[in-house]
Amino acid sequence: LNALLAALDRIQPIRESLETTESQLLQTAKSQLQPLPELCNEIRAALVEDPPLAITDGGLIRKGYHAELDRLREIAYSGKDWILRLQNSEREKTGIPSLKVAYNKVFGYYIEVTKPNLSKVPEHYLRKQTLVNAERFITPELKEYEEQILEAEEKIVALEYELFNRLREKVATYAQAIQTNARQVAVLDCLANFAQIAVERNYCRPHLDESERIEISEGRHPVIEKLLPFGEKFVPNDTYISSTDEQIQIITGPNMAGKSTYLRQVALIVLMAQMGCFVPAKSARIGVVDKIFTRVGAADNLAGGESTFLVEMNETANILNNATSESLILLDEIGRGTSTFDGLAIAWAVVEYLHEHANVAAKTMFATHYHELTELEMIFPRVKNYNIAVKEWGDQVVFLRKIVKGGCDHSYGIQVAKLAGLPPMVIQRAKEILTNLENNALTPNHEPKIAARKQGSRQPPPAMQLDFFSQANHLLVRELQALDLENMTPLQAFQKLMELKQKIDQNQN
């Protein structure tokens, strides 16, 4: 309840901060926020500022809130003073300076006298316990006060619990107003966070309309751009997709190039815009969509007995059965969970279905490794090809992360495998097999010559050369990017350059 009080105490300052707003949304929030001063005063009067963890621990209700509780506390908590006075009084009456009045949970209150002083014990003392070096007694007066204290303590626990329950019941009568406050504070909290990230991350205000197109200039992924290593900048991309002239985008490119990131980026920008948030882009014009469907990633459902491919097909079926012409669909690698021909056939048919059926002609972004799908651009007028640009450098590739028009006829899978650290012999053999497959080299049985080879015909691996894409040199590039050149002396810069050169020489050797 104290946490509730702290929250309610902030309502009035929030209302005051909204006094000058012209926003209808904020004016509505202000009008519905209720400080509830009567409830706040009741909680403040009833509860101590630092309550115990458990209600039964006692000390929950503030002094002065309830007269009977105060009286019982006076009896219970003034007991120590009464015991001290009794102890001093009995010492004077009996002449026993070591006489002690004490308490334990087994015997309650008692008077303890050491054995050398037992001859001085008055007759009205009642023996209660004999120890090795002392004896314990009680008196009618002590017994009566003990009963009063114990009774008071029990009543305090019961009365505090009763008072707390009454307070909770009173708070419950304000439940509707409290929930209204919570909803409006949640709205304000959301809007405040929207505003904060818009300023801190250079977001733009999107334009929403009821058109059939989505236009994004220099869009960025709101999460990935914040997770990149120091010194590495996110590469923005433009997006144009329209139900009238560019309904379906076939996006090809190698693994690791950024296809999935681009798809998710567009979906997040559309979602953020329709939430009322500024978006990570230079500019954005969003035609409102009724649903966003995604088929990304790969996972099976072991508990349900569903393979990865079946899960993929279930999700694809759900999309095709529920999408409308106002929807946005993101498909990532449809058909990869089965054989190449089956997967290609399914992917091709899905694109045809989305293009040819007006009721499900949704704006669609389709990332794929099936380069044959790029031929759909020549068949269907609203299908357009895009790819993730790469720069070839010898037998290496540089991922430029940029979306450009046109198809891509290379997957660069072997180069990606090399980046991942597969052994050189595996990479070399994969290149040989790929060459056979691409040249359609067949055996007499008309099978690809991917294994037939004379013993010893394997070419020796090429001499090692500087490879800026190996894992080690990739780390060197990162280290170079992280250098703070503006704050280095010429000598420090030269020393660092020599250090990097030594590392490169070691990699070559």
Are residues 433 and 384 part of one domain? no
Decide if 302 is inside a domain.
Answer: yes
Decide if 258 is inside a domain.
Answer: yes
The two tokens of residue 445 are 């049985």
Task: State the pLDDT at residue 469.
Answer: 42
Are residues 403 and 309 part of one domain? yes
Are residues 397 and 282 part of one domain? yes
Are residues 405 and 372 part of one domain? yes
Q: CA-to-CA distance for 201 and 187, rounded, in angstroms?
A: 21
Query: Considering its fold, how many domains does the chain have in total?
Result: 3
Phi, psi of 26 (to 5 degrees): -70, -35
pLDDT at 273 over 70: yes
* Higher pLDDT, residue 57 or 158: 158
27: left (phi over 0), alpha (psi -120 to 50) or beta: alpha
pLDDT at 472 over 50: yes
Task: State the pLDDT at residue 366.
Answer: 94
Q: What is the pLDDT of residues 163-186, one digit of tens each?
A: 888 888 898 998 999 999 999 999
pLDDT-derived band at 407, boundaries 50, 70, 90? confident
Decide if 93 is inside a domain.
Answer: no
Are residues 361 and 439 part of one domain? no
Q: What is the pLDDT of residues 128-147, one digit of tens each?
A: 889 989 999 998 888 888 78
Q: CA-to-CA distance for 289 and 329, rounded, in angstroms?
A: 10
Across 332-336, 392-396, 410-414, which has the greatest mean pLDDT? 332-336
Task: State the pLDDT at residue 428.
Answer: 86
Q: Are 254 and 411 in contact (CB under 8 A)?
A: yes
What CATH code is carried by the domain that includes residue 389?
Answer: 3.40.50.300
Decide if 74 is inside a domain.
Answer: no
| 18 burial type by CB count under 10 A (0-12 exposed, 13-18 middle, 19+ buried) | middle
Residue position matching structure tokens 């999107």: 206
Are residues 280 and 222 part of one domain? yes
Q: What is the pLDDT of residues 33-82, one digit of tens each?
A: 989 988 888 888 888 888 777 777 777 888 888 888 888 887 777 777 78
Of 87-96, 182-191, 406-415, where does mean pLDDT reach its minimum? 406-415
Are residues 342 and 429 part of one domain? no
Are residues 383 and 436 part of one domain? no
pLDDT-derived band at 465, boundaries 50, 70, 90? very low
Average pLDDT over residues 397-424: 80
- Percent of the chain past pLDDT 90, that is, above it, reads 34
Decide if 411 is inside a domain.
Answer: yes
- What's the number of CA atoms in the CB half-sphere (13 Å) around residue 335? 20
Decide if 158 is inside a domain.
Answer: no
Task: State the pLDDT at residue 452.
Answer: 46
Q: Give pTM, 2 decimals.
A: 0.66
Helix ranges (DSSP H) in 212-258: 224-227
Helix (H, G, I), strand (E, B) or coil at 135: strand
Residues 6+ apart with CB under 8 A from 58: 52, 156, 157, 160
Are residues 345 and 234 part of one domain? yes
Are residues 401 and 475 part of one domain? no
Average pLDDT over residues 405-426: 80
pLDDT-derived band at 460, boundaries 50, 70, 90? very low
Q: CA-to-CA distance for 118 and 464, rounded, in angstroms?
A: 102
Residue type, 374: T
SS3 for 368-379 is: CCCHHHHHHHHC
Are residues 333 and 443 part of one domain? no
Average pLDDT over residues 81-92: 87
Phi, psi of 232 (to 5 degrees): -100, 125
Decide if 306 is inside a domain.
Answer: yes
Q: What is the pLDDT of residues 216-249, one digit of tens each?
A: 999 999 999 999 888 888 999 999 999 999 999 9
H/E stretch holding 476 reads: helix 471-481
Are residues 442 and 364 part of one domain? no
Can you give the residue range of the structural domain that contains 252?
Answer: 203-421
**Mean pLDDT over all residues of the chain?**
84
Q: Are 117 and 135 in contact (CB under 8 A)?
A: no
Q: What is the pLDDT of residues 304-339, one digit of tens each?
A: 666 778 888 889 999 999 999 999 999 998 887 777
Question: How does DSSP classify residue 98?
Answer: T
